[in-house]
Amino acid sequence: MCGIIGYIGKSEAAPILLEGLRRLEYRGYDSAGLAILNGTLSVRKCKGRIANLTDLIGREPIHGDVGISHTRWATHGGVTDENAHPHFDESGKLALVHNGVIENYQTLKEQLLSEGHHFKSQTDTEVLAHLIGKHFEALGGEASGPRLVEAVRAALKEVTGTYGIAVMHEAVPETLVGARRGSPLVLGIGKGENFLASDVSAIVGHAREAVYLRDYDVVTLGRDDFEITTLDGGVSGFKVSKVEFSEDDVNKGAFPHFMLKEIFEQPESLQNAIRGRLSVEESTAKLGGLNMTPQQLRDIERIVLTGCGTACHAAMVGEYVIETLAHVPTEVEFASEFRYRNMPMNKDTVVFAISQSGETADTLAALRESQRKGHRTLGICNNVASTIARESDGGVYMHAGPEIGVAATKSFTSQVAVLTLLGLLLGRIRHLSTSDGIRIMEEMKAIPEKVREILKQNDRIKEIAHKYAYAKAMMFLGRQFNYPVAMEGALKMKEISYLHAEGHPSAELKHGVIALISPEVPSVFIAPDDSVYDKNISNIEEVKARKGPVIAIGTEGSSKLEKVADDVIYIPRCPDYLSPLLTVIPLQLFAYHLAVKLGCDVDKPRNLAKSVTVE
């Protein structure tokens, strides 16, 4: 949650910080602010979107070449100007921006109050600013970068919780300090300038190299140099990486919203997910990043997939696919519950932690809990430098490219594609024949082009979405491989349109769900021509008998749907186990166009942020 960007260099800081905040706004948009040092600290902050802050600075300009900034997703304290970051210490000379949660802030605040400190906000962040300022004053001596770093270290050793911070002090104008624990922070390396950011997208176009800080790293930035040490003052084994993304990757281009752009990028992201991972010679998938031998893969007796939100829905599809192709018992656990229950797992259980960002707090905690219990724990994520990528025992990189829209789209299909590759790999080791492997590979290779065919129906799907835009609520129903797609379709609708939507197995309709059916509550049935097609037709007829409108997702050439559904969107024919990669596309477009019709901000839906890095 929340976005940070800091700058030290030779250019005006304000335009760079504002541009970075705009790119990070998907991480939080309750309020925003910046502080710039030019002899003295000047601050501008206000509640609302980045545009509000831009307008404020237009009316009240500030200048300087060192600064920190923040876009907030509220945790402690309401959405007010006072609670917006940056926050200051008691002296007003130290400024700090912070992502994360200081769990023991109330205890620390009471101690500071007893020492005569005064607070202007209700945030845990202001407590941390005061604590660092207190240590800075206590250290005494020359006001210098080393003194500020030592103050940061001393304060953080008193803190319980998570943090990604950027700190500056009026008395130390040539230094920025950053630190992280559980909340992402990236050092961007430029020429005569350096950056701190919570996401590399904020510094694309400015920095060509980056260091993805690890937990308990402390970084000191000057204009021409930097130093990374540990919280205890030791040497950090950091690695300098190339910034992979271009400015085109983090801009909307000709699309009105990032979400629509990312929906239309799925042919390419799916192609990238499978590229180089299908072996014609061996008729199987190749996933070298798993760091497991064929014998170790054969010895797997059980798989646990864990994730949150959309990643959890992708895992649910993966459960069906892996059990179908590989006959390996597979189950899905909410990452948020994984570490709080004592789930029995035998020694040959392998756990996969699934996260687009690779920084999701609950998923990272599940990964660590699994490893603590001695299980091989692998990651599926989109950021090769993320914490999950670094801490897992191996894994698969999705290659989906940046996903800026808060509502996940291409990451879902990329995760499903990777899990399908895993099912193929494990299946070929066990019972699938060479001809089975070849057939599955050919079907997978055809998926990107089939997605393109569905995207050509965008205008038709838009018409259907507008038809149902003012529904009271909406039901999403599917069976087998497409039950998780129904869950994902409902989630997309809830996230961006704020319409009440529920996802259920079609067969559960008679077991309570049917009570919600009415002319004001449309049902979306995912009903491709598969093994339960006729069962879905029967369920649709039950809804129609109760005057419920029906939108159906069906397979080209299947004529029965047109006789029972009010509107039908067709997908190309494919095997059952690959159908989620196609059926989800119309649901993404349906939710998108309906939300736009209602005037919702689909890229920045209320109360949500892209990456949940606090519990």
Phi and psi angles of residue 253, each rounded to the nearest 5 degrees, phi first: 65, -130
How far the first Cα of the chain sits from its last, in Å, is 10
Closest to 185 in 3D by CA, of 222, 177, 36, 49: 177
Report the C-alpha gap between 454 and 463 in whole angstroms.
15
Closest to 407 in 3D by CA, of 475, 343, 313: 313
Report the C-alpha gap between 145 and 152 in whole angstroms.
11
Which residues are annotated as catalytic?
2, 610
The two counts, helices (H) then strands (E), for the chain are 19, 26
The CA distances from residue 130 to 110, 115, 352, in Å, are 12, 11, 41
Report the C-alpha gap between 460 and 184 in whole angstroms.
41
Report the C-alpha gap between 373 and 405 in whole angstroms.
35
Report the C-alpha gap between 272 and 257 in whole angstroms.
22
Beta strand residue intervals within 540-613, DSSP E:
550-555, 567-571
Check if the beta carbon of residue 596 is closer than 8 Å to that of residue 602: yes
What's the full length of the chain, in residues? Answer: 615
DSSP for 362-386 reads HHHHHHHHHHHTT-EEEEEES-TTS
The neighbour count for residue 248, using CB atoms within 10 Å, is 9
Closest to 146 in 3D by CA, of 36, 39, 229: 229
Closest to 236 in 3D by CA, of 128, 380, 390, 371: 390
Check if the beta carbon of residue 282 is closer than 8 Å to that of residue 380: no
In 3-state terms, the chain is what percent helix, strand and coil (to 5)?
40, 25, 35
The CA distances from residue 103 to 35, 79, 115, 340, 381, in Å, are 25, 19, 20, 18, 28
Report the C-alpha gap between 571 and 392 in whole angstroms.
37
Report the C-alpha gap between 302 and 325 in whole angstroms.
14
Check if the beta carbon of residue 322 is closer than 8 Å to that of residue 328: yes
Q: In 3-state terms, what secondary structure has residue 202?
A: helix
DSSP for 282-296 reads TTEE--GGG---HHH
Report the C-alpha gap between 336 and 360 in whole angstroms.
10
Report the C-alpha gap between 416 and 439 in whole angstroms.
18
Closest to 207 in 3D by CA, of 222, 223, 189: 189
Please name the amino acid found at residue 330. T
